[in-house]
Amino acid sequence: MRNHDMNARLTRTNTALALILGASLIGATAAAQACPKMGGHGGSGMDVDSKVEYMTKQLDLTPEQQQQVSAILEKTRQEQMRLRQENRAQIDALLTEEQKAKRTERQLKAVNRQVERLTDWLDLSSEQADQIKALFTEQRQNRALTRAQVHEQMSGILNAEQLAEFDQGHGRGPGGDRRGGSNCPVYD
């Protein structure tokens, strides 16, 4: 009888813990979806300057601290880029030519989908769409291109109205990030 009571109590305790853990995971998932830039990478969706600016607003960083944080984040960004390139090279060495061709085809399809969405959203001309397609293809091949560099090149392709719409829809303009708002913490 005692074993039965103890087993029942353990089962209830395990069930309660599972429910608590499940609720925690759901809450974390919801938070990650609401603030995707938080991610597991400490705001990997933002460039170094944006992270420093956010931290400065939130934490009142001094100019000296801003420089130090910027240096740390830039060093981290460079190291992450180096590691991604190493990983890519190691994985490429494992892939067959057929697998590499399949990956390239998938990447091209993804670029085409991106350009189609942008064309519909921003009413791009065919010339603009071709230029953006070339830019996105270059970005996929040259992962060293930063978001800021891509944005700079986009600003040379889009007209002022399109660029403003693009920036607002991608969290650079008023209203923050369309996916999660500007209240999402993004610093490391």
CA neighbours closer than 13 Å in the CB half-sphere of residue 109:
6
| Domain limits, the chain | 47-94, 97-174
Q: What is the pLDDT along the chain (188 residues), one digit of tens a residue?
A: 566 666 666 566 655 544 454 444 444 333 333 343 333 334 555 788 889 999 999 999 999 999 999 999 999 988 988 998 899 899 999 999 999 999 989 989 999 999 999 999 999 999 999 999 999 988 887 777 778 888 899 999 999 999 999 888 865 444 344 333 333 433 33
Residue 154 near residue 5 (C-beta atoms within 8 A): no
Give SS3 for 74: helix
Among left, alpha and beta (phi > 0; psi -120 to 50; other), residue 181 is left
- pLDDT value of residue 43: 52
Measure the CA–CA gap between 143 and 84, rounded to whole angstroms: 9
Start-to-end C-alpha separation, the chain: 53
- DSSP code, position 187: -
3-state secondary structure 91-148: HHHHCCHHHHHHHHHHHHHHHHHHHHHHHHHHCCCHHHHHHHHHHHHHHHHCCCCCHH
| Contact (Cβ atoms closer than 8 angstroms) between residue 175 and residue 182 | yes
Q: What is the pLDDT of residue 79?
A: 93
Q: pTM, whole model, 2 decimals?
A: 0.53
| Nearest-angstrom CA–CA distance, 10 and 141 | 55
User: Residue 113: what pLDDT?
Assistant: 95
DSSP state, residue 178: T
